[in-house]
C-alpha cells in the first residue's frame, strides 16, 4: 500500500515538473536568450530599407545647383505576372527581349512571391508614357526613388556624378548595400558622407507563404530615413555659366579663386558635357560615348592636366631672387639674345620692367644667380645646392605639392630638384644644362589650379588659403584646414615690384596683355606662351604653342585671382588674357561693357586639327 502511495506522488511530481520545464525554457528563449528571439523574428517578420533624399547643393548666392527628382523602377512579382504580352511590354519599357528574359529568369530564381527589379531609373518624362499602360500587365508595378538632377546643365566636372556601389565600395564601407548609389567624382564624391543621409528601416509581418500581413509591433521599431545635409559651395553659378560660354569650342580651362579665403569661384574645363547625361538608366551608354570622344570631355583639365607654365613663372623667379638677396628690385640685365631668344624691347632696368617686358635673358641671368651662388668650387655641386634651395622656394608657392583641395585629384605640378636631374642626367649637369626652368619651360610643370593659386598668392602679397569648394555644411563646420593661411618663403615686401610689373603688363604700352584691360578696374596679369610637343607615331613634333594667362583684380583689396589656359592657340595675350578679363569684369561688375571683345571670344572656334598645328 505504501509503494502505491509513493508512486502516486512521483507521478504527480512528474506532471508538475514537465509543464514547469516548458515554462522555464520558454521564458529563457523569449526573454533571456536573444538568439531565439532573433530566430523567431526572421520567421515571422521582415524588413525593408527606406532611402533618404540626398542633400541639396547650393552656390554661394543660394541658387540651387543640385537637387533631387523622382525616378521610377519597375518591379515584378513573378507568379502574378501571367499571360503577359511580352512583345508589347518590352516595347513599352524600351528594353530588348534578351534583357527582359534574363531579368524575369533572375526574378523567378530569387522568389516567385517576392518582388524583383526589371527596369531601373526611368526618368519622369519617360515614365509618363509608361504609367497609363502599366495596369494592363498584372504583377508589374512601379517603385519611386530619388535621383540627382542638374538644373543648368553646367559644371559637370565640379559636381561629379553617381553610380552603383561596387563590391569594393561595399567592402570598404558596410553602410552600402548592393544596388545603392555612391558619389563617384566631384562634389558628389568628396562630400558623399554628408550628402547621403541615413537610411531608415520598416519592419512588417509576413505569413507562411511570404506575403505581408501588417506592421511589426505597430511600427515601434521602425526608423525614419534622415535626409542628407545640404551643402553650400563657393562657386558663383553665374560666373561658372559665363566661363563655360567663353570656353565653348576651345580646349583648356579657367580657374577663379577669391584670394582672401581660397574659395573657388569657378572651375571650367573645356570641352565639358551635360551632367544629366550621367543620371538614370542611360548612364552607362552615355558614359561610353563620352569616353570615346577624342576631345576628352571627361578629363578635368583644371586639376588633372599639368603643363609647362611658360612666362608666368618669371614672377616666381623674381620673388625668389629678391628674397635670396642675389638681386634687388632695381637690378638690370641686358637682353642678350645669345643666351636665349627674345622679342625686341629696351633693356629692363629692374624687376618691374623685366616682368612687363617678359624678357627671357633677364630671367635666365637672374635664375643663374639663384642656383649658382658660389657655395662650392665645383659648378656641379654648386648647382645642386642652389637648385634644392630654389625647389624649396617654388614648392612653398603651392606648386608640385598637395594643395589639399576638397576635390579628387592625384595630379600635381613638377618642381625638378637635384634627385630629379641626377637620375635623368647621370649627375653631369649644371645651370647651363637646365636654364630653361628660368622661363617656365623644360621640366617645370604646373596645373591650372596651381596657377590660379599662384595668382592668389601674389594678390595676397605672400600667403594663400588652400583652394576649396565648400562654403558651409548644414549643422557642421567646414574643415579647419581651409581657415588658416599658408605663408610662402618670400617676405611680403618683395611682392610690390612684381605686382607693379603685372599691372604694367596690362595697362602700359609695350605690355604683353593689353587685351586684358578693363575700364575702371586695375588688372594685374602675366602672359605665358608655352611650347608644346607631342609624340605621333614614334616621332616628336612641335605643335602650336599653348596660351596662358594669370591675373588678379583689383590691384588693391583683390576680389578675384584667375588662371586661363587654352591649348594650341599661340601667344598668351591673344586669347587667354581677354578671356580672363571678361571673367573678372563679369564677377566684379556683373555686366560686360566691351561686347566686341566678348563676341570675339564666344564666337571663336579654337579647337585645332592635328594637321594644322604640327610644325615641321
Say if CB 325 and CB 353 are below 8 A apart.
no
Instruction: Tell which residue, 575, 567, 584, 562, has the closest CA to residue 602.
Output: 575
Instruction: Tell which residue, 523, 545, 524, 526, has the closest CA to residue 534.
Output: 545
349 in the same domain as 209? no
Q: Is residue 516 included in any domain, yes or no?
A: yes
Whole-number Å distance between alpha carbons of 494 and 498: 8
| Residue 370: count of CB within 10 angstroms of its CB | 21
H/E run at residue 255: strand 252-258
105 in the same domain as 202? yes
Say if residue 311's pLDDT is above 90. yes
pLDDT band at 84; cut points 50, 70, 90: confident
Say if residue 396's pLDDT is above 50. yes
Range with the poorest average pLDDT among 29-33, 40-44, 128-132, 448-452? 40-44
Say if residue 257's pLDDT is above 70. yes
Q: Is residue 199 included in any domain, yes or no?
A: yes
Average per-residue pLDDT for the chain: 87
Q: 196, 214, 233: which is the final residue of a domain?
A: 233
- Work out whether strand 524-536 and strand 539-553 pair parallel, antiparallel, or are unpaired: antiparallel
- The predicted structure's pLDDT at residue 227: 87
Mean per-residue pLDDT, 146-158: 90
Q: Is residue 23 included in any domain, yes or no?
A: no
504 in the same domain as 411? yes
Helical segments of 48-130, H only: 86-93, 97-110, 124-130
18 against 570, higher pLDDT: 570
104: containing domain: 48-233
238: which residues sit within 8 A by CB, 6+ positions away?
Answer: 61, 586, 590
Total domains, the chain: 2
Whole-number Å distance between alpha carbons of 424 and 436: 16
Residues 188-219 have pLDDT tens digits of 999 999 999 887 777 766 555 445 556 666 66
Burial of 275 (0-12, 13-18, 19+ CB in 10 A): buried
Mark residue 475 as left, alpha or beta (left: phi above 0; alpha: psi -120 to 50; beta: remaining). Answer: left
Model confidence, pTM: 0.85
Q: Which of 46-60, 126-140, 360-374 has the highest mean pLDDT?
A: 360-374
Give residue for cell 564624391: 189
Radius of gyration from C-alpha coordinates of the chain? 34
491 in the same domain as 551? yes
DSSP SS3 for 118: strand
Q: Is residue 403 included in any domain, yes or no?
A: yes
pLDDT band at 580; cut points 50, 70, 90: very high
Q: For residue 543, what is its C-alpha cell?
A: 605643335
pLDDT band at 409; cut points 50, 70, 90: confident
242 in the same domain as 208? no
- The predicted structure's pLDDT at residue 488: 98
Say if CB 52 and CB 225 are below 8 A apart.
yes
Whole-number Å distance between alpha carbons of 370 and 324: 7
Chain centroid, CA 316 distance in Å: 27
Chain centroid, CA 343 distance in Å: 39
- The predicted structure's pLDDT at residue 169: 93
596 in the same domain as 490? yes
Mean per-residue pLDDT, 292-309: 94
CATH of the domain at 220: 3.90.1310.10
193 in the same domain as 310? no
Q: Is residue 8 included in any domain, yes or no?
A: no
CATH of the domain at 440: 3.40.710.10
Backbone angles phi, psi at 582, to 5 degrees: -65, -40
406 in the same domain as 282? yes
Whole-number Å distance between alpha carbons of 553 and 519: 12
Mean per-residue pLDDT, 349-365: 94
Say if residue 612's pLDDT is above 60. no
Q: Is residue 6 included in any domain, yes or no?
A: no
Largest distance between two CA atoms of the chain: 139
Residues 5-62 have pLDDT tens digits of 556 656 655 655 666 665 555 555 455 555 444 444 444 446 666 778 899 999 999 9
Say if residue 615's pLDDT is above 50. no
262 in the same domain as 200? no
Whole-number Å distance between alpha carbons of 43 and 205: 9
pLDDT band at 323; cut points 50, 70, 90: very high
Range with the poorest average pLDDT among 51-65, 111-125, 311-325, 391-405? 111-125
Dump the DSSP string for 362-426. Answer: HHHHHHHHHH--SSSSSHHHHHHHHHHHHHHHHHTTTSSS----SS------B---HHHHHHHHT
Q: Is residue 604 included in any domain, yes or no?
A: yes
Instruction: Name the percent of the chain lying above pLDDT 90.
Output: 60
Q: 218, 233, 248: which is the final residue of a domain?
A: 233
For the four alpha carbons of 278, 283, 289 and 291, in that order, the dihedral sign comes to positive
Whole-number Å distance between alpha carbons of 360 and 379: 23
Say if residue 394's pLDDT is above 80. yes
455 in the same domain as 376? yes
255: which residues sit within 8 A by CB, 6+ positions away?
Answer: 264, 266, 267, 268, 302, 448, 449, 451, 452, 562, 563
- The predicted structure's pLDDT at residue 448: 97
Whole-number Å distance between alpha carbons of 262 and 254: 15
Mean per-residue pLDDT, 143-147: 80
165: which residues sit within 8 A by CB, 6+ positions away?
Answer: 176, 177, 178, 179, 180, 181, 182
- The predicted structure's pLDDT at residue 336: 83
Backbone angles phi, psi at 108, to 5 degrees: -60, -40
Residues 538-553 have pLDDT tens digits of 676 667 788 999 999 9
Say if CB 93 and CB 118 are below 8 A apart.
yes
Q: Is residue 159 included in any domain, yes or no?
A: yes
Instruction: Tell which residue, 476, 474, 462, 458, has the closest CA to residue 552.
Output: 458
Residues 482-493 have pLDDT tens digits of 999 999 999 999
pLDDT band at 529; cut points 50, 70, 90: confident
Mean per-residue pLDDT, 376-397: 95
Give residue for cell 623674381: 318
341 in the same domain as 246? yes
pLDDT band at 121; cut points 50, 70, 90: confident
| Residue 282: count of CB within 10 angstroms of its CB | 16
- The predicted structure's pLDDT at residue 138: 87
| Residue 194: count of CB within 10 angstroms of its CB | 18
DSSP SS3 for 75: strand
227 in the same domain as 258? no
Amino acid at each position: 500500500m505504501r509503494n502505491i502511495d509513493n508512486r502516486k506522488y512521483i507521478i504527480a511530481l512528474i506532471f508538475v515538473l514537465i509543464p514547469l520545464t516548458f515554462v522555464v525554457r520558454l521564458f529563457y528563449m523569449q526573454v533571456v536568450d536573444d538568439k531565439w528571439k532573433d530566430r523567431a523574428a526572421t520567421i515571422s517578420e521582415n524588413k525593408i530599407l527606406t532611402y533618404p533624399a540626398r542633400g541639396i547643393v547650393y552656390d554661394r548666392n543660394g541658387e540651387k545647383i543640385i537637387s533631387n527628382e523622382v525616378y521610377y523602377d519597375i518591379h515584378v512579382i513573378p507568379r502574378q505576372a501571367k499571360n503577359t504580352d511580352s512583345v508589347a511590354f518590352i516595347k513599352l519599357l524600351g528594353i530588348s527581349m534578351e534583357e527582359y528574359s534574363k531579368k524575369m529568369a533572375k526574378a523567378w530564381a530569387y522568389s516567385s512571391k517576392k518582388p524583383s527589379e526589371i527596369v531601373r531609373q526611368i526618368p519622369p518624362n519617360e515614365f509618363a508614357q509608361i504609367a497609363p499602360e502599366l495596369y494592363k500587365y498584372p504583377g508589374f508595378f512601379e517603385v519611386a526613388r530619388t535621383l540627382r538632377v542638374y538644373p543648368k546643365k553646367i559644371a559637370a566636372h565640379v559636381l561629379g556624378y553617381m553610380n552603383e556601389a561596387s563590391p569594393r565600395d561595399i567592402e570598404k564601407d558596410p553602410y552600402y548595400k548592393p544596388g545603392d548609389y555612391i558619389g563617384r567624382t566631384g562634389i558628389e564624391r568628396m562630400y558623399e558622407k554628408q550628402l547621403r543621409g541615413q537610411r531608415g528601416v520598416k519592419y512588417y509581418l509576413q505569413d507562411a507563404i511570404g506575403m505581408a500581413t501588417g506592421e511589426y509591433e505597430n511600427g515601434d521599431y521602425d526608423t525614419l530615413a534622415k535626409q542628407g545635409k545640404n551643402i553650400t559651395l563657393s562657386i558663383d553659378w553665374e560666373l561658372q555659366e559665363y566661363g563655360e560660354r567663353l570656353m565653348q569650342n576651345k580646349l583648356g580651362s579657367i580657374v577663379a579663386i577669391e584670394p582672401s579665403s581660397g574659395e573657388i569661384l569657378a572651375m571650367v574645363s573645356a570641352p565639358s558635357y551635360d551632367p544629366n547625361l550621367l543620371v538614370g538608366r542611360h548612364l552607362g551608354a552615355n558614359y561610353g560615348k563620352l569616353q570615346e570622344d577624342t576631345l576628352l570631355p571627361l578629363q578635368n583639365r583644371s586639376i588633372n592636366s599639368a603643363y609647362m607654365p611658360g612666362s608666368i613663372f618669371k614672377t616666381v623667379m623674381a620673388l625668389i631672387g629678391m628674397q635670396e638677396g642675389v638681386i634687388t628690385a632695381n637690378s638690370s640685365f641686358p637682353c642678350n639674345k645669345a643666351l636665349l631668344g627674345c622679342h625686341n624691347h629696351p633693356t629692363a632696368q629692374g624687376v618691374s620692367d623685366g616682368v612687363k617686358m617678359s624678357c627671357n635673358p633677364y630671367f635666365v641671368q637672374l635664375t643663374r644667380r639663384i642656383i649658382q651662388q658660389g657655395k662650392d668650387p665645383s659648378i656641379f655641386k654648386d648647382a645642386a645646392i642652389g637648385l634644392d634651395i630654389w625647389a624649396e622656394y617654388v614648392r612653398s608657392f603651392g606648386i608640385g605639392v598637395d594643395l589639399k583641395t576638397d576635390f579628387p585629384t592625384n595630379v600635381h605640378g613638377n618642381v625638378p630638384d637635384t634627385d630629379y636631374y641626377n637620375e635623368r642626367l647621370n649627375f653631369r649637369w649644371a645651370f647651363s644644362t637646365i636654364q630653361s626652368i628660368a622661363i617656365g619651360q623644360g621640366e617645370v610643370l604646373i596645373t591650372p589650379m596651381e596657377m590660379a593659386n599662384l595668382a592668389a598668392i601674389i594678390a595676397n602679397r605672400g600667403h594663400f588659403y588652400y583652394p576649396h569648394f565648400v562654403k558651409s555644411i548644414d549643422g557642421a563646420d567646414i574643415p579647419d584646414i581651409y581657415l588658416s593661411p599658408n605663408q610662402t618663403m618670400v617676405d611680403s615686401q618683395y611682392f610690390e615690384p612684381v605686382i607693379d610689373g603685372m599691372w604694367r603688363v596690362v595697362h602700359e604700352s609695350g605690355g604683353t596683355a593689353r587685351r586684358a584691360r578693363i575700364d575702371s578696374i586695375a588688372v594685374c596679369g602675366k602672359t605665358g606662351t608655352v611650347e608644346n610637343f607631342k609624340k605621333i607615331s614614334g616621332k616628336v613634333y612641335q605643335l602650336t604653342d599653348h596660351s596662358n594667362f594669370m591675373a588678379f583684380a583689383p590691384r588693391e583689396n583683390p576680389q578675384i585671382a584667375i588662371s586661363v589656359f587654352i591649348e594650341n592657340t599661340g601667344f598668351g595675350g591673344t586669347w587667354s588674357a581677354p578671356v580672363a578679363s571678361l571673367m573678372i569684369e563679369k564677377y566684379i561688375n556683373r555686366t560686360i561693357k566691351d561686347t566686341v571683345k566678348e563676341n570675339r571670344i564666344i564666337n571663336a572656334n579654337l579647337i585645332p586639327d592635328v594637321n594644322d598645328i604640327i610644325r615641321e
